[in-house]
Amino acid sequence: MSFSYKSAISFGLVFVPVSLHLTVRTQDIGFNMLYRKTGERIRYKKTCTNCPPDLTGQDIVRGYEYQKGKYVTITNEELDAIKTERDKSIEISSFVALDEIDPVFFEKSYYIKPLGAEKAFKLIQLALESKGLVGIAKTVLGQKDQLVALRAVGGNMLLYTLHFDDEVQPAPKIADEVVTDAELKLAKDIIANMTMKFNPKDYRDEFRTKLRTAINAKIAGKRVATTRSKAQTAKILTLMDALKASVDLKKKKPGGQKNATKSATIKTRRQSA
C-alpha cells in the first residue's frame, strides 16, 4: 500500500503511535487524452488572464469565494494555526455498537498498524473485539477535521472515516403506496428464495475485464470485437403477476448474472379501495 499516515490513538491515559494504511486499492483503468492526429498527450496548464507564462506552485494560493468574483485567501500556515495538538491524534471519546451507525455515514477505511507500544495496541484491540463495540473519535487527516470509528475484527484494527451529520442529505420523499398482505408475503418469499451468504469472490467487475481484454487486443494489433446482444422486449405484468412468477424462480447467480428466465417489466396499478 503506497499511502500511509502517521497518527496516535489516545484511549484514556493510554497513548499508542500508529500508522494508517488504505484497505482498498483502485483497480480502475485510466486513460490519457491524446491529440488524434499525432498521438501526443494533451497537457493542461495552470494559467489565468494576467498570469505569467512561467507560473509555479509558489505563485498559487488557496481562495474562498464569499461573493461573486470576490475571494479571501487562506494559507497552509493559517490552516495549521487553527488546529490544536490534540486534533492530530485520534482521541476516543465514546464507544457505540457498530449496528447503531447507519452505513450511509461510512466513507473510507484504513488498516491501523502500531508504531511502538504494541502491548497497549493489542490491549485496545482485544478489549474492543471482546465487547463488540467501536470507538468514536475526532482527528485531522490531511487538513480536514474528520469523524472516525475504530473497529477491531479478526485480530486487526481498522479505522473508518465517517461523514458528519450535516453532510448526509435527507432521503427524497416517496409516495405512500398501499401494499396488501398477499403482496408482502410473496415479496418475502422471493427474498427467502434468493438469500445466501455474501462471498465477495463471487462478484467481478465484468466491464473492467472486457476493457483489459480490448486493450491487450489493441496492443497486439488485433481488432476489438464490437458485437452486442440485442435487447429483448419484456412482457409487461402487473405487480401481483410479477411477484407470483418470481416466487418459484431459483436463486439468482451471484455477480449480477441473469437467471435463465426472462425478467419482466412490472407495471404497477393502484389497488382500488
The per-residue pLDDT for range 81-99, each reduced to its tens digit, is 887 666 678 989 999 999 9
Most confident of the ranges 131-135, 139-143, 238-242: 131-135
- The b/e string for 95-105 (b: 16+ C-beta within 10 A; e otherwise) is eeeeeebeeeb
Evaluate if residue 228 carries a pLDDT over 70. no
Look at residue 257 in the predicted model and tell me its pLDDT: 47
Whether the CB-CB separation of 55 and 154 falls below 8 Å is answered with no
Look at residue 269 in the predicted model and tell me its pLDDT: 46
Domain ranges of the chain: 5-25+85-167, 181-267
Evaluate if residue 1 carries a pLDDT over 80. no
Question: Three-state SS for 129?
Answer: helix
Q: Whole-model pTM?
A: 0.73
The fold of the 5-25+85-167 domain, in CATH, is Ku70; Chain: A; Domain 2 (2.40.290)
